[in-house]
Structure 1
């Protein structure tokens, strides 16, 4: 297929581009003039200058394409409460989706997130059909992603071949913007290492990318697929990290009630914190997911948390990030 990709220069997006090329697909990437393309430079791709709010560039990019993979949008934890969230995620997705419908309904994969499924106070395994019990007013990112998903389901119900995939907390090398590795770096620079009571489904970037390509190739229109691997607690991630590095650290699990209280007080008094306060609502919940549907229907597999973290830590050391 000839595949149009938004966000193809990003951490996960660049892995998707490489996976598409390895599978024999032709790739056309939407890129802004200011985009850092270092992760895809040298790859045999077509480049279309524009962005997801420039419908003319979207139409030009999708012309003649058999598939669309939409990854672009706010994904950095540092922007998790950005006022641009709705414009970036919801309006941007609407523009890309409407253009796809206009040019001939190519197969369309929207990249959502496992946090759009649900998060719980205790470790409960959830799947694609789990009802969301979160107060979405407290989770702007989740709210925007779910609204974008609804647009996709509506298009699928009207007959368009649109699929939704939900990546997990994704680790791997070349995370040059420190999207997920920022917490690892913060832990490395802390003594003792303080962690919350929570957990998340994790994945290795190449596995998640392979899942996205598999959804494009054989996903069922209107369906949602969780592309996560092992479910681990926040403390287990920190423990694995230091085991891989061969270092002994004192890792202390702090009750969530204390973390929330201290964060609220520090923010109200404008005091500095050794962590990003905006991730606290996420870090103090469990985002445990069942990947059975994706593994069975898409024929993909996922590495363990250790196998996802090992190359990540090696890259962080090689780049002197830790």
Structure 2
């Protein structure tokens, strides 16, 4: 039987595996690939049969990667990312330098967009495209770099620290006048605005209270899936948001939101600029990353 030139399994099986491993979900992988979950499952079984190993452990309503699959995913994802970047550079070789940066909607609207404008004013020949991603950044392979709270898992990324934020309850002026100086137990009884995100690294109200030594009951409050909405609800006086002081600095300066102290907690994680290793990052992306690091440092000093 004729051997394939690179001795690779069919690319459709590798594509299905990469998407399922990245999402840890056959259903979400199927949606991305515009096929049925059954088709993804069929491709995974075909790949497992060719390799002679199990790649996924089926658990309740989810899947987990086996040890062999973890190693395979790092290799396949890295290869796909390099192919994507090379194709993008081929598409754009006759255009000006283009960088695509990703962030959450909150980071984009409250900080990054203004920084990108300042970067463009200094480097007008570099075009910076922004992508808002309120889910795992690893599901958007066309990004040259992205801003992430916490660190990305896996060894194929370079992660440059930007800053550590501080967390404090915030509300409008009326709520601040009423609650400033109150105890943690009293704060916990207020209408809290809970952020529900796919990214579990974001600090929640419960995390905040526990870090400060309070383990009592916490009000259910209201729930939103977007931080910008949480901030708007807080400005409208409908509840208390967990404020990231540096991130929401523009709202604090205008007093649209007011810290309800005196309790402030340093965030458990830092914000990072995440990009491929040096051999996979474009000169434009490297310039933007280093410029952001320098700007953040100058604002801190």
Give the TM-score of the pair, scaled to structure 1.
0.26
Structure with max Cα Rg: 2
Give the TM-score of the pair, scaled to structure 2.
0.27
